[in-house]
A and B are shown apart, each in its own frame.
Chain A
Amino acid sequence: MTEQTDNTVRSYRSRTPSWWTPVLAILWKDVLLESRTREMVMPILVFAFLVIVVFNFVIDPNPTLVAAVAPGVLWVAFTFAGMLGLNRSFSMEKERGGIEGLMLCPVGRDLIYLGKMLGAFMFILIVEFIMLPVFAAIFNLPLFEPGLWLITVLATFGFASVGATFSAMAVNTKAREILLPILFFPIAVPVIIAATEATRAVLAGDPFSDYSRWIQLMAAFDVVFVVIAALTFDFVLGE
Protein backbone atom coordinates (compact mmCIF):
# COMPACT_ATOMS: atom_id res chain seq x y z
CA MET A 1 0.00 0.00 0.00
CA THR A 2 1.64 3.23 -1.15
CA GLU A 3 1.85 6.03 1.38
CA GLN A 4 0.03 9.11 0.13
CA THR A 5 2.15 12.26 0.17
CA ASP A 6 -0.29 14.80 -1.16
CA ASN A 7 -0.76 17.46 1.50
CA THR A 8 -4.33 18.04 0.43
CA VAL A 9 -5.13 14.38 1.00
CA ARG A 10 -3.29 14.43 4.33
CA SER A 11 -5.37 17.35 5.51
CA TYR A 12 -8.52 15.30 4.97
CA ARG A 13 -7.16 12.33 6.86
CA SER A 14 -8.96 11.63 10.05
CA ARG A 15 -6.95 12.05 13.18
CA THR A 16 -7.64 11.13 16.76
CA PRO A 17 -9.85 13.97 17.99
CA SER A 18 -9.52 15.34 21.50
CA TRP A 19 -11.83 13.51 23.87
CA TRP A 20 -14.20 16.47 24.20
CA THR A 21 -14.63 16.88 20.41
CA PRO A 22 -17.01 13.92 19.91
CA VAL A 23 -18.76 14.67 23.21
CA LEU A 24 -19.44 18.25 22.13
CA ALA A 25 -20.33 17.10 18.61
CA ILE A 26 -23.01 14.76 19.97
CA LEU A 27 -24.24 17.43 22.37
CA TRP A 28 -24.44 20.08 19.64
CA LYS A 29 -26.18 17.64 17.31
CA ASP A 30 -28.82 16.94 19.99
CA VAL A 31 -29.25 20.67 20.63
CA LEU A 32 -29.82 21.30 16.92
CA LEU A 33 -32.29 18.44 16.66
CA GLU A 34 -34.18 19.53 19.77
CA SER A 35 -34.37 23.12 18.55
CA ARG A 36 -36.18 21.87 15.44
CA THR A 37 -38.30 19.06 16.83
CA ARG A 38 -38.90 20.01 20.49
CA GLU A 39 -39.53 16.31 21.06
CA MET A 40 -37.92 16.21 24.46
CA VAL A 41 -38.29 19.57 26.22
CA MET A 42 -41.96 20.20 25.46
CA PRO A 43 -43.33 16.85 26.68
CA ILE A 44 -41.22 17.08 29.84
CA LEU A 45 -42.33 20.62 30.49
CA VAL A 46 -46.01 19.85 30.00
CA PHE A 47 -45.85 16.73 32.16
CA ALA A 48 -44.01 18.46 35.02
CA PHE A 49 -46.43 21.39 34.89
CA LEU A 50 -49.46 19.09 34.99
CA VAL A 51 -48.14 17.12 37.95
CA ILE A 52 -47.46 20.24 39.96
CA VAL A 53 -50.80 21.83 39.10
CA VAL A 54 -52.81 18.68 39.86
CA PHE A 55 -51.12 18.23 43.22
CA ASN A 56 -51.85 21.89 43.95
CA PHE A 57 -55.56 21.17 43.51
CA VAL A 58 -55.36 18.09 45.71
CA ILE A 59 -53.40 19.48 48.63
CA ASP A 60 -55.15 21.53 51.29
CA PRO A 61 -53.38 24.96 51.27
CA ASN A 62 -52.33 24.58 54.89
CA PRO A 63 -48.77 26.00 55.21
CA THR A 64 -47.68 23.14 57.45
CA LEU A 65 -49.07 20.54 55.07
CA VAL A 66 -47.63 22.29 52.03
CA ALA A 67 -44.17 22.42 53.62
CA ALA A 68 -44.39 18.71 54.34
CA VAL A 69 -45.52 17.48 50.92
CA ALA A 70 -44.22 20.08 48.48
CA PRO A 71 -40.70 18.59 48.24
CA GLY A 72 -42.20 15.22 47.37
CA VAL A 73 -44.48 16.81 44.78
CA LEU A 74 -41.54 18.59 43.18
CA TRP A 75 -39.45 15.45 42.90
CA VAL A 76 -42.34 13.32 41.71
CA ALA A 77 -42.80 15.83 38.91
CA PHE A 78 -39.10 16.03 38.09
CA THR A 79 -38.49 12.30 38.34
CA PHE A 80 -41.29 11.21 36.05
CA ALA A 81 -40.73 14.10 33.67
CA GLY A 82 -37.07 13.15 33.58
CA MET A 83 -38.12 9.58 32.70
CA LEU A 84 -39.93 10.92 29.66
CA GLY A 85 -36.88 12.87 28.57
CA LEU A 86 -34.48 10.00 29.06
CA ASN A 87 -36.73 7.68 27.10
CA ARG A 88 -36.80 10.12 24.19
CA SER A 89 -33.04 10.64 24.28
CA PHE A 90 -32.21 7.25 22.81
CA SER A 91 -35.50 6.68 21.03
CA MET A 92 -34.62 9.56 18.76
CA GLU A 93 -31.24 7.96 18.06
CA LYS A 94 -32.79 4.60 17.24
CA GLU A 95 -34.79 6.16 14.43
CA ARG A 96 -32.75 5.98 11.22
CA GLY A 97 -30.12 3.92 12.98
CA GLY A 98 -28.49 6.82 14.79
CA ILE A 99 -27.08 4.58 17.50
CA GLU A 100 -25.32 2.39 14.97
CA GLY A 101 -24.10 5.47 13.15
CA LEU A 102 -22.44 6.55 16.38
CA MET A 103 -21.06 3.04 16.93
CA LEU A 104 -19.36 3.17 13.52
CA CYS A 105 -17.39 6.28 14.48
CA PRO A 106 -13.81 5.92 15.78
CA VAL A 107 -14.85 7.15 19.18
CA GLY A 108 -14.86 5.37 22.50
CA ARG A 109 -18.28 4.19 23.65
CA ASP A 110 -17.72 6.05 26.90
CA LEU A 111 -17.58 9.33 24.98
CA ILE A 112 -20.82 8.47 23.17
CA TYR A 113 -22.37 7.90 26.59
CA LEU A 114 -21.04 11.22 27.90
CA GLY A 115 -22.38 13.13 24.91
CA LYS A 116 -25.86 11.61 25.17
CA MET A 117 -25.93 11.88 28.96
CA LEU A 118 -24.94 15.54 28.97
CA GLY A 119 -27.60 16.29 26.37
CA ALA A 120 -30.32 14.62 28.43
CA PHE A 121 -29.03 16.35 31.56
CA MET A 122 -29.10 19.73 29.90
CA PHE A 123 -32.63 19.42 28.49
CA ILE A 124 -34.11 18.07 31.72
CA LEU A 125 -32.33 20.80 33.70
CA ILE A 126 -33.74 23.50 31.41
CA VAL A 127 -37.25 22.25 32.12
CA GLU A 128 -36.59 22.11 35.85
CA PHE A 129 -35.22 25.65 35.89
CA ILE A 130 -38.41 26.78 34.16
CA MET A 131 -40.60 24.79 36.54
CA LEU A 132 -38.93 25.83 39.80
CA PRO A 133 -40.39 29.36 39.73
CA VAL A 134 -43.78 27.90 38.77
CA PHE A 135 -43.56 25.48 41.66
CA ALA A 136 -42.54 28.25 44.06
CA ALA A 137 -45.37 30.49 42.91
CA ILE A 138 -48.06 27.78 43.08
CA PHE A 139 -47.06 26.56 46.53
CA ASN A 140 -46.04 29.98 47.83
CA LEU A 141 -42.54 28.85 48.69
CA PRO A 142 -39.18 30.64 48.56
CA LEU A 143 -37.55 30.52 45.13
CA PHE A 144 -34.18 32.20 45.40
CA GLU A 145 -32.56 29.61 47.59
CA PRO A 146 -29.13 28.70 46.17
CA GLY A 147 -29.38 25.35 47.89
CA LEU A 148 -32.49 24.47 45.88
CA TRP A 149 -30.78 25.08 42.56
CA LEU A 150 -27.70 23.10 43.66
CA ILE A 151 -29.91 20.17 44.69
CA THR A 152 -31.66 20.30 41.34
CA VAL A 153 -28.39 20.22 39.40
CA LEU A 154 -26.90 17.36 41.41
CA ALA A 155 -30.04 15.23 41.40
CA THR A 156 -30.65 15.75 37.69
CA PHE A 157 -27.07 14.81 36.91
CA GLY A 158 -27.60 11.62 38.88
CA PHE A 159 -30.83 10.88 37.01
CA ALA A 160 -29.15 11.49 33.68
CA SER A 161 -26.07 9.41 34.46
CA VAL A 162 -28.17 6.39 35.41
CA GLY A 163 -31.05 6.99 33.05
CA ALA A 164 -28.92 7.38 29.92
CA THR A 165 -27.49 3.92 30.45
CA PHE A 166 -30.82 2.24 31.04
CA SER A 167 -32.43 4.17 28.22
CA ALA A 168 -29.83 2.78 25.82
CA MET A 169 -30.54 -0.71 27.14
CA ALA A 170 -34.30 -0.37 26.97
CA VAL A 171 -34.53 1.28 23.56
CA ASN A 172 -34.03 -1.98 21.69
CA THR A 173 -36.93 -3.67 23.47
CA LYS A 174 -40.60 -3.43 22.65
CA ALA A 175 -41.53 -2.60 26.23
CA ARG A 176 -39.06 0.24 26.65
CA GLU A 177 -41.56 2.61 28.29
CA ILE A 178 -42.09 0.01 31.02
CA LEU A 179 -38.56 -1.37 31.16
CA LEU A 180 -36.85 1.97 31.69
CA PRO A 181 -38.70 2.84 34.93
CA ILE A 182 -38.27 -0.72 36.20
CA LEU A 183 -34.52 -0.53 35.67
CA PHE A 184 -34.13 3.10 36.67
CA PHE A 185 -36.04 3.53 39.91
CA PRO A 186 -34.31 0.96 42.13
CA ILE A 187 -30.94 2.48 41.27
CA ALA A 188 -32.08 6.09 41.47
CA VAL A 189 -33.82 5.75 44.86
CA PRO A 190 -30.85 7.18 46.82
CA VAL A 191 -30.84 10.30 44.65
CA ILE A 192 -34.61 10.73 44.91
CA ILE A 193 -34.54 10.38 48.69
CA ALA A 194 -31.56 12.71 49.03
CA ALA A 195 -33.11 15.31 46.73
CA THR A 196 -36.44 15.22 48.56
CA GLU A 197 -34.92 15.43 52.04
CA ALA A 198 -32.51 18.17 51.06
CA THR A 199 -35.31 20.15 49.41
CA ARG A 200 -37.41 19.81 52.54
CA ALA A 201 -34.55 21.20 54.63
CA VAL A 202 -33.95 24.10 52.25
CA LEU A 203 -37.62 25.08 52.12
CA ALA A 204 -37.81 24.87 55.90
CA GLY A 205 -34.94 27.35 56.13
CA ASP A 206 -32.54 24.88 57.73
CA PRO A 207 -28.80 25.73 57.63
CA PHE A 208 -26.58 24.09 55.04
CA SER A 209 -24.97 21.90 57.68
CA ASP A 210 -28.35 20.22 58.24
CA TYR A 211 -28.63 18.96 54.69
CA SER A 212 -25.00 18.87 53.57
CA ARG A 213 -24.91 15.08 53.97
CA TRP A 214 -27.63 14.75 51.33
CA ILE A 215 -25.62 17.01 49.02
CA GLN A 216 -22.56 14.84 49.60
CA LEU A 217 -24.59 11.70 48.92
CA MET A 218 -25.83 13.06 45.60
CA ALA A 219 -22.38 14.26 44.59
CA ALA A 220 -20.85 10.88 45.38
CA PHE A 221 -23.67 9.09 43.55
CA ASP A 222 -23.11 11.27 40.49
CA VAL A 223 -19.38 10.61 40.36
CA VAL A 224 -19.66 6.88 40.98
CA PHE A 225 -22.42 6.22 38.50
CA VAL A 226 -21.14 8.39 35.69
CA VAL A 227 -17.80 6.55 35.88
CA ILE A 228 -19.43 3.12 36.06
CA ALA A 229 -21.84 3.93 33.24
CA ALA A 230 -19.10 5.30 30.98
CA LEU A 231 -16.90 2.27 31.55
CA THR A 232 -19.70 -0.23 30.91
CA PHE A 233 -21.42 1.53 28.00
CA ASP A 234 -19.58 -0.62 25.48
CA PHE A 235 -21.43 -3.65 26.83
CA VAL A 236 -24.73 -1.79 26.84
CA LEU A 237 -24.43 -0.98 23.13
CA GLY A 238 -22.92 -4.31 22.14
CA GLU A 239 -25.05 -7.04 20.60
Chain B
Amino acid sequence: MQTNSAIHTHGLTKHYGNRPVLRDIDLELPWGEVLSLFGPNGAGKTTLVRLLAGLTRPTGGSIRIAGLDPERRGIEVRRLLGVVTHQTFLYDELTARENLRFYARMYGLGNADDRIEEVSATLGSSSYLDARVRTLSNGMQKRVSLARAVLHRPRLLIFDEPEAGLDQEALDLVEALLKAHRAEGGSAVVTTHNVERGLSIADRVIILANGRISYDEPSGMLEPVSFRDTYRERTGVQL
Protein backbone atom coordinates (compact mmCIF):
# COMPACT_ATOMS: atom_id res chain seq x y z
CA MET B 1 0.00 0.00 0.00
CA GLN B 2 1.51 3.31 -1.10
CA THR B 3 1.31 5.99 1.54
CA ASN B 4 2.74 9.43 2.15
CA SER B 5 3.73 8.72 5.74
CA ALA B 6 6.17 6.30 7.23
CA ILE B 7 4.69 7.06 10.63
CA HIS B 8 1.42 8.69 11.59
CA THR B 9 0.31 8.89 15.20
CA HIS B 10 -2.73 10.70 16.51
CA GLY B 11 -3.39 11.30 20.18
CA LEU B 12 -0.93 8.55 21.08
CA THR B 13 -1.01 7.91 24.81
CA LYS B 14 0.61 5.35 27.07
CA HIS B 15 0.02 4.81 30.73
CA TYR B 16 1.75 2.34 33.00
CA GLY B 17 -0.84 1.80 35.68
CA ASN B 18 -1.97 5.26 36.70
CA ARG B 19 1.25 6.89 35.55
CA PRO B 20 1.06 8.66 32.18
CA VAL B 21 4.27 8.23 30.22
CA LEU B 22 3.20 9.58 26.85
CA ARG B 23 0.37 12.04 26.29
CA ASP B 24 -1.36 12.95 23.05
CA ILE B 25 1.57 12.44 20.71
CA ASP B 26 0.72 13.62 17.20
CA LEU B 27 3.57 12.68 14.92
CA GLU B 28 3.88 12.56 11.16
CA LEU B 29 7.05 11.28 9.51
CA PRO B 30 7.11 11.29 5.70
CA TRP B 31 9.08 8.77 3.72
CA GLY B 32 12.64 9.80 3.06
CA GLU B 33 12.98 11.71 6.31
CA VAL B 34 15.11 11.09 9.37
CA LEU B 35 13.83 12.26 12.73
CA SER B 36 16.09 12.82 15.73
CA LEU B 37 14.31 12.52 19.04
CA PHE B 38 15.76 14.22 22.09
CA GLY B 39 14.57 14.29 25.64
CA PRO B 40 15.76 13.85 29.22
CA ASN B 41 15.61 10.52 30.99
CA GLY B 42 12.01 9.61 31.72
CA ALA B 43 10.60 11.83 28.99
CA GLY B 44 9.07 8.86 27.18
CA LYS B 45 11.54 8.37 24.32
CA THR B 46 12.00 4.65 24.86
CA THR B 47 8.26 4.19 25.39
CA LEU B 48 7.60 5.92 22.08
CA VAL B 49 10.19 3.69 20.42
CA ARG B 50 8.55 0.59 21.90
CA LEU B 51 5.12 1.73 20.71
CA LEU B 52 6.38 2.35 17.19
CA ALA B 53 8.18 -1.00 17.20
CA GLY B 54 5.04 -2.81 18.32
CA LEU B 55 6.61 -4.06 21.53
CA THR B 56 3.88 -2.51 23.62
CA ARG B 57 0.31 -1.41 22.98
CA PRO B 58 -0.90 2.18 23.34
CA THR B 59 -3.36 3.10 26.03
CA GLY B 60 -5.03 5.56 23.69
CA GLY B 61 -4.74 7.12 20.27
CA SER B 62 -3.59 5.50 17.07
CA ILE B 63 -0.44 4.50 15.24
CA ARG B 64 -0.09 3.87 11.54
CA ILE B 65 3.13 2.58 10.02
CA ALA B 66 3.07 3.04 6.23
CA GLY B 67 -0.67 3.46 6.61
CA LEU B 68 -1.00 0.07 8.31
CA ASP B 69 -2.45 -0.57 11.74
CA PRO B 70 0.13 -2.58 13.73
CA GLU B 71 -2.67 -4.23 15.73
CA ARG B 72 -4.45 -5.61 12.68
CA ARG B 73 -1.56 -6.01 10.25
CA GLY B 74 1.33 -6.58 12.59
CA ILE B 75 3.22 -9.01 10.39
CA GLU B 76 3.29 -6.61 7.44
CA VAL B 77 4.31 -3.74 9.71
CA ARG B 78 7.12 -5.70 11.35
CA ARG B 79 8.48 -6.57 7.93
CA LEU B 80 8.98 -2.86 7.32
CA LEU B 81 10.76 -2.17 10.59
CA GLY B 82 14.38 -2.43 11.66
CA VAL B 83 14.74 -1.82 15.38
CA VAL B 84 17.80 -1.27 17.56
CA THR B 85 17.40 -0.70 21.28
CA HIS B 86 19.58 -1.04 24.35
CA GLN B 87 18.99 -4.79 24.20
CA THR B 88 20.81 -6.55 21.42
CA PHE B 89 18.25 -9.37 20.92
CA LEU B 90 21.21 -11.69 20.36
CA TYR B 91 21.72 -15.09 21.94
CA ASP B 92 24.96 -15.20 23.90
CA GLU B 93 25.84 -18.82 23.17
CA LEU B 94 25.34 -18.53 19.42
CA THR B 95 27.90 -16.98 17.15
CA ALA B 96 27.17 -13.68 15.46
CA ARG B 97 26.66 -15.51 12.19
CA GLU B 98 24.27 -18.02 13.77
CA ASN B 99 22.28 -15.19 15.30
CA LEU B 100 22.05 -13.41 11.95
CA ARG B 101 21.11 -16.63 10.15
CA PHE B 102 18.36 -17.19 12.69
CA TYR B 103 16.88 -13.76 12.12
CA ALA B 104 17.33 -14.13 8.37
CA ARG B 105 15.17 -17.27 8.53
CA MET B 106 12.61 -15.49 10.68
CA TYR B 107 12.43 -12.74 8.04
CA GLY B 108 12.25 -15.24 5.20
CA LEU B 109 15.39 -13.93 3.50
CA GLY B 110 16.79 -15.62 0.44
CA ASN B 111 20.60 -15.74 -0.03
CA ALA B 112 20.97 -15.07 3.67
CA ASP B 113 24.68 -15.82 3.88
CA ASP B 114 25.48 -13.33 1.10
CA ARG B 115 23.38 -10.69 2.78
CA ILE B 116 25.00 -11.37 6.16
CA GLU B 117 28.45 -10.91 4.63
CA GLU B 118 27.36 -7.71 2.90
CA VAL B 119 25.82 -6.12 5.98
CA SER B 120 28.66 -7.21 8.25
CA ALA B 121 31.19 -5.68 5.87
CA THR B 122 29.22 -2.42 5.90
CA LEU B 123 29.22 -2.35 9.70
CA GLY B 124 32.78 -3.60 10.13
CA SER B 125 31.81 -6.78 11.98
CA SER B 126 32.98 -9.38 9.44
CA SER B 127 36.07 -10.38 11.42
CA TYR B 128 34.10 -11.74 14.38
CA LEU B 129 31.07 -13.28 12.70
CA ASP B 130 32.10 -16.73 13.92
CA ALA B 131 32.71 -15.71 17.52
CA ARG B 132 30.11 -16.40 20.16
CA VAL B 133 28.26 -13.27 21.13
CA ARG B 134 29.15 -13.58 24.82
CA THR B 135 32.84 -13.23 23.88
CA LEU B 136 32.26 -9.94 22.07
CA SER B 137 32.60 -6.50 23.61
CA ASN B 138 29.53 -4.28 24.00
CA GLY B 139 30.51 -2.31 20.91
CA MET B 140 30.96 -5.44 18.83
CA GLN B 141 27.60 -6.78 19.97
CA LYS B 142 26.00 -3.47 19.08
CA ARG B 143 27.38 -3.72 15.54
CA VAL B 144 25.97 -7.23 15.18
CA SER B 145 22.66 -5.99 16.56
CA LEU B 146 22.66 -3.23 13.95
CA ALA B 147 23.35 -5.86 11.29
CA ARG B 148 20.39 -7.84 12.60
CA ALA B 149 18.17 -4.78 12.30
CA VAL B 150 19.05 -3.97 8.69
CA LEU B 151 19.43 -7.49 7.36
CA HIS B 152 16.02 -7.52 5.70
CA ARG B 153 16.32 -4.04 4.17
CA PRO B 154 13.61 -2.44 6.31
CA ARG B 155 11.96 0.73 5.07
CA LEU B 156 11.71 2.27 8.52
CA LEU B 157 14.55 2.23 11.02
CA ILE B 158 13.92 2.83 14.69
CA PHE B 159 17.14 3.32 16.61
CA ASP B 160 17.10 3.94 20.35
CA GLU B 161 20.41 5.59 21.23
CA PRO B 162 22.38 3.68 18.61
CA GLU B 163 25.58 5.48 19.61
CA ALA B 164 25.70 3.77 23.00
CA GLY B 165 28.76 1.54 23.17
CA LEU B 166 30.05 2.41 19.72
CA ASP B 167 33.46 3.83 18.89
CA GLN B 168 34.00 6.75 16.51
CA GLU B 169 34.48 4.48 13.50
CA ALA B 170 31.22 2.66 14.18
CA LEU B 171 29.39 5.95 14.74
CA ASP B 172 30.54 7.12 11.32
CA LEU B 173 29.35 3.84 9.80
CA VAL B 174 25.91 4.21 11.41
CA GLU B 175 25.65 7.77 10.14
CA ALA B 176 26.58 6.63 6.64
CA LEU B 177 24.04 3.81 6.88
CA LEU B 178 21.29 6.27 7.86
CA LYS B 179 22.17 8.62 5.02
CA ALA B 180 22.18 5.80 2.49
CA HIS B 181 18.88 4.57 3.89
CA ARG B 182 17.35 8.01 3.47
CA ALA B 183 18.73 8.32 -0.06
CA GLU B 184 16.88 5.10 -0.94
CA GLY B 185 13.62 6.60 0.28
CA GLY B 186 13.61 5.06 3.73
CA SER B 187 12.83 6.81 6.98
CA ALA B 188 14.28 6.60 10.45
CA VAL B 189 13.58 7.65 14.01
CA VAL B 190 16.71 8.01 16.09
CA THR B 191 16.68 8.80 19.79
CA THR B 192 19.90 10.32 20.97
CA HIS B 193 21.62 12.49 23.53
CA ASN B 194 24.37 13.46 21.08
CA VAL B 195 23.46 16.91 19.79
CA GLU B 196 26.01 17.15 16.98
CA ARG B 197 25.24 13.75 15.50
CA GLY B 198 21.51 14.12 16.07
CA LEU B 199 21.39 17.39 14.19
CA SER B 200 23.72 16.28 11.38
CA ILE B 201 21.77 13.16 10.43
CA ALA B 202 18.25 14.47 10.90
CA ASP B 203 15.84 16.32 8.66
CA ARG B 204 13.71 17.12 11.67
CA VAL B 205 14.23 17.34 15.41
CA ILE B 206 11.78 16.68 18.19
CA ILE B 207 12.20 17.28 21.91
CA LEU B 208 10.10 15.14 24.20
CA ALA B 209 9.44 16.44 27.70
CA ASN B 210 7.14 14.95 30.34
CA GLY B 211 5.59 12.68 27.76
CA ARG B 212 4.66 15.43 25.31
CA ILE B 213 6.23 16.86 22.17
CA SER B 214 7.69 20.12 23.33
CA TYR B 215 9.56 21.10 20.17
CA ASP B 216 9.25 19.98 16.56
CA GLU B 217 11.27 21.79 13.90
CA PRO B 218 13.31 21.09 10.78
CA SER B 219 16.95 20.63 11.67
CA GLY B 220 18.41 22.47 8.69
CA MET B 221 19.12 25.80 10.37
CA LEU B 222 19.78 24.52 13.86
CA GLU B 223 23.17 25.00 15.49
CA PRO B 224 24.25 22.81 18.42
CA VAL B 225 24.72 25.76 20.75
CA SER B 226 21.31 27.30 20.12
CA PHE B 227 19.69 23.88 20.20
CA ARG B 228 21.18 23.20 23.61
CA ASP B 229 19.65 26.46 24.83
CA THR B 230 16.31 25.50 23.38
CA TYR B 231 16.57 22.08 24.99
CA ARG B 232 17.28 23.57 28.39
CA GLU B 233 14.34 25.95 28.06
CA ARG B 234 11.95 23.17 27.07
CA THR B 235 13.07 20.49 29.50
CA GLY B 236 14.82 22.31 32.33
CA VAL B 237 17.76 19.97 31.85
CA GLN B 238 21.18 20.63 30.36
CA LEU B 239 22.01 18.43 27.35
Contacts and interface: CB of A to CB of B under 8 A. Distances in A.
Contacts of A107: 75, 78, 106
B107 A33 contact: no
Interface in B72-119: 75-76, 78-79, 81, 83, 85, 87-94, 98, 102-103, 105-111, 114-115
A33 B105 contact: no
Given A11-B111, A37-B93, A21 B105 contact: yes
Contact of B110 (A15, A98, A105, A106): A15
Contacts of A33: 91, 93-94
A239 B153 contact: no
A19 to B, nearest CB: 11
B75 A239 contact: no
B225 interface: no
A55 B94 CA distance: 39
Contact of A104 (B32, B53, B76, B153): B53
A215 to B, nearest CB: 36
Interface residues of B, number: 40
Contact of B54 (A37, A101, A104): A104
A95 B92 contact: yes
A146 interface: no
Contact of A14 (B85, B90, B94, B108): B108
Nearest to B110: A11
A100 B110 contact: no
Contact of A106 (B78, B92, B98, B185): B78
Interface residues of A, number: 36
Contact of A12 (B54, B56, B98, B115): B115
B54 A15 contact: no
B221 interface: no
A106 B76 contact: yes
Contacts of B110: 11-13, 15
Most-contacted residue by chain A among B31, B94, B107, B115 (CB, 10 A): B107
A108 B78 CA distance: 10
Given A11-B111, A106-B75, A239-B55, A96 B89 contact: yes
B91 A96 contact: yes
A81 to B, nearest CB: 23
A36 B108 contact: no
B91 A17 contact: no
Contacts of B83: 104
A100 B106 contact: no
Given A2-B185, A9-B153, A96-B87, A105 B92 contact: no
B224 to A, nearest CB: 32
Given A97-B88, A106-B76, A21 B108 contact: yes
Nearest to A37: B93
Contacts of A4: 184
A101 to B, nearest CB: 3
Interface in B189-233: none
Contacts of B76: 106
B8 interface: no
B2 interface: yes
Interface string A111-127: 00000000000000000
B23 interface: no
Contacts of B2: 1
A145 B213 CA distance: 69
A230 to B, nearest CB: 15
Nearest to B66: A1
Contact of A97 (B54, B87, B102): B87
Which 4 pairs across A and B sit closest by C-beta, in order of nearness?
A101-B89, A97-B87, A17-B108, A106-B79
Given A12-B109, A104-B55, 11 more contacts: A16-B108, A17-B108, A25-B105, A25-B106, A96-B89, A101-B90, A103-B54, A104-B78, A104-B89, A105-B106, A107-B106
